[in-house]
Structure 1
Amino acid sequence: MYFVYVLKSLTNGRFYTGSTSNLERRLNEHNLGKSKYTRLTKPFNLIYKEEYKTRVEAYKRELFFKTGKGRELLKILIKQS
């Protein structure tokens, strides 16, 4: 299984969207500062996730969430979860 996930920084309140096949490992990497993009804004809470059968499906959804319309939908989905 593959996941699209959204993290919220406890440092500055910003969101990070990504995709992975191992959600627990990836969250730990973010919180341990092993991700170049997020190391300065750790720690993070997982606030939203979706599961997909293929890496391609998950990656397409990740890219969509990084668009304007995707961000709008994500705000709604996060409020509902």
Structure 2
Amino acid sequence: MKKGGAIYILTNLHNQVFYTGVTSDVVKRIQEHKEKKYSNSFTATYQLDKLVYYENYLTIEEAIAEEKRIKAGNRASKIKLIISKNAEWKDLWDEISQW
């Protein structure tokens, strides 16, 4: 990944719950979610380990601003964002895990 930051959206197997996050290392962070590194976290509790959306940014500040914008939106706006890049709702982990 480029130096900077990334935002991502995770969901569960049935796409019922969303989690929006920001990180400077999206591969490492998603791997942590998949391995449930933080067993008491929101994502571990609700089995959120399916990466359905991500976007890279040149700076972490840009990524943080976008994360805040996405979190301020409602469920419908998150669904629209996900569908714009991942209409099949597939797990994008395979796409990024080899970076």
What range describes the TM-score normalised by the shorter chain of this pair?
Answer: 0.7 to 0.9
C-alpha deviation, 1:28, in angstroms = 1.1
Q: What do the CA deviations read for 1:47-79 (whole angstroms, capped 9, x no partner)?
A: 11111111111011101111136x544322211
User: Could you say which residue in structure 1 is the equivalent of 2:63?
Assistant: 58
RMSD of aligned Cα (Å):
2.0
C-alpha deviation, 1:40, in angstroms = 1.3
C-alpha deviation, 1:27, in angstroms = 0.8
Distance 1:58 1:30 in 2: 19
What is the one-letter code of the residue matched to 1:26? R
Preserved contact between residue 11 and residue 41 of structure 1 (Cα < 8 Å): no
Structure with greater strand share of residues: 1
Deviates more, 1:9-18 or 1:23-32: 9-18
Runs of 4 or more, structure 1, over 4 Å off, are none
Deviates more, 1:32-41 or 1:50-59: 32-41
Distance 1:12 1:78 in 2: 11
User: Could you say which residue in structure 2 is the equivalent of 1:17?
Assistant: 20
Which runs of 5 or more residues in structure 1 are unaligned?
none
Secondary structure of 1:29 counterpart = helix
1:26 and 2:26 matched: no
How high is the sequence identity, in percent, across the aligned residues? 35
Taking structure 1 as the reference length, the TM-score comes to: 0.81
Secondary structure of 2:7 counterpart = strand
